[in-house]
Amino acid sequence: MASFSSDTTIEKVNEYNFDDFFRLITELARFEHLDPPDEEGKERLKKHGLAEKPFYDAYITRMNGRPVGYLIYFFSYSSFKAKPTLYLEDIFVLDDVRGRGLGKMMFLFCVKKAKEAGCGRMEWSALNWNKGAIGFYERMGAKALSEWTYFRLTEQAIDELLERS
């Protein structure tokens, strides 16, 4: 557990704090106007994150013991840089505690993890309508990429493509 002030800590998600982590994911889904994971999704999150070789790393931020934010990242690899890339999947702070530096603290925590892992870069995405997040990342020194377009195949699209092939 990392302590940043007497009242704020960042702790790795484990079986004991997983329910707090899941509640925060539900809050992010609400913020983004999306459906949160269902019970089966919750079980997959637990299985994939707490496995011997987890698919992702996740941390909860607590203020005075209260879970107020979380982050998820995983590593991919850049063939051209010949170094790992830390991909920040989620970083979220509850609305009632925003503006207190928690997001910056969590972001810098990830930057430190990228440095420790010898990453050649760190990447993430932000929704186009989330001007607060975009402004935050720009203040951190990040540049929006214009030369790349992110694409996604949904689970349904994967199934349909395999059926057609």
Annotated active-site residue in 59, 73, 137, 150: 137
Instruction: Please give the Cα distance from 86 to 75 (Å, whole number).
Output: 5
Instruction: Please give the Cα distance from 80 to 87 (Å, whole number).
Output: 16
**Nearest alpha carbon to residue 21 among 96, 88, 92, 89:** 92
Residue 87 a catalytic site member: no
Angle at 58 between CA 84 and CA 109, to 5 degrees: 65
* Catalytic residue annotation: 137
